[in-house]
Amino acid sequence: MPGNRKAAEEMLFSLVNKVDPSGKNAEVYKEFFKDMNDEDFDLYIQALEQGRDFVSFIMENLANQPINTRNNLKVAQEMGVQFFQRVWLTDPTTGRVYLSNRKYLVMHLPVRRQIQTLVHKISIPEDNMHIDELTNQPTGVSKGSALSFPELLVLYSQGHDEIIKELMKYRGGDLKGMNAMNRMIHEAGSCSMETLDTLGTTVKATETLSTYLTAMHIENNFLETNKG
């Protein structure tokens, strides 16, 4: 590697300058390599080759940027990088896996959770494995949030019936329905509430209440009227 270092650096500078014609990012990498010994440089190149590190770019805010999408696509084509790929999808109805005809943008994106600003009533679940035996709702360290009755009325007044169904049914104790919903999202990238309704699953709290009332010799039809 020591014998090829200069050529490797020049190649990297050339590619960086194609993405950023201003040369600012190339100068950053020149400073980055200036005090780096050959052993560390070799480790850096290995990390690039193995996908453990990336050549990143710095873009100033509120400034006229030479880095733009049109040029990035042009440079990617010259380098043989395919941003758009056909992807494997799962049909939510048949469960059949197929290769899409249309190409979609596939790329690495950073994900950052915004800093919490609320002081009270903040609860970040440690996992999703702890559920209440009577309701199948998250409890203990798995409990993250709740939907109050006033909040429910606001959603109802705005006509958000499907949101209410998702929060109160499929995320509110219908364990079988929630598992089916998560499986659809994992396989197809989306979920159809209409498809979930055909499963005929119920919320555990409704089953528990029906059992309590039956044990008190109070006839009820909760399990029949709350399906779907």
Which pLDDT belongs to residue 51? 86
Burial (Cβ within 10 Å: 0-12, 13-18, ≥19) of residue 48: middle
- Enter the tokens of residue 180: 């089916």
For residue 1, the model assigns a pLDDT of 45
CB 67 within 8 A of CB 57: yes
What residue segments make up the domains of the chain, in order of their start? 2-79, 140-225
State the Cα–Cα distance between residues 193 and 138, nearest whole angstrom: 21
Would you give the distance in Å from CA 132 to the centre of its chain? 27
CA distances from 157 to 71, 170, 172, 186, 228 (A): 48, 21, 20, 32, 21
Instruction: Enter the tokens of residue 65.
Output: 């940027």
pLDDT at residue 61 in the model: 79
Contact 199, 93 (CB under 8 A): no
pTM of the model: 0.49
Phi-psi region of 140 (alpha: psi -120 to 50; beta: other; left: phi over 0): left
User: Hey, how many other C-beta atoms are within 10 angstroms of the C-beta on 120?
Assistant: 4
In order along its 228 residues, the chain shows pLDDT tens digits of 445 888 989 999 999 999 999 999 999 999 999 989 999 999 999 999 898 898 889 888 777 878 888 999 999 999 888 999 999 988 877 888 999 999 999 988 777 665 555 555 566 777 777 888 888 888 887 777 778 888 889 999 999 998 898 888 888 888 888 889 888 888 888 888 888 888 888 888 888 999 999 999 999 888 875 544
Q: Sort strands 104-105 and 84-85 into parallel, antiparallel or unpaired.
A: antiparallel
Number of CB atoms found within 10 A of residue 173's CB:
23
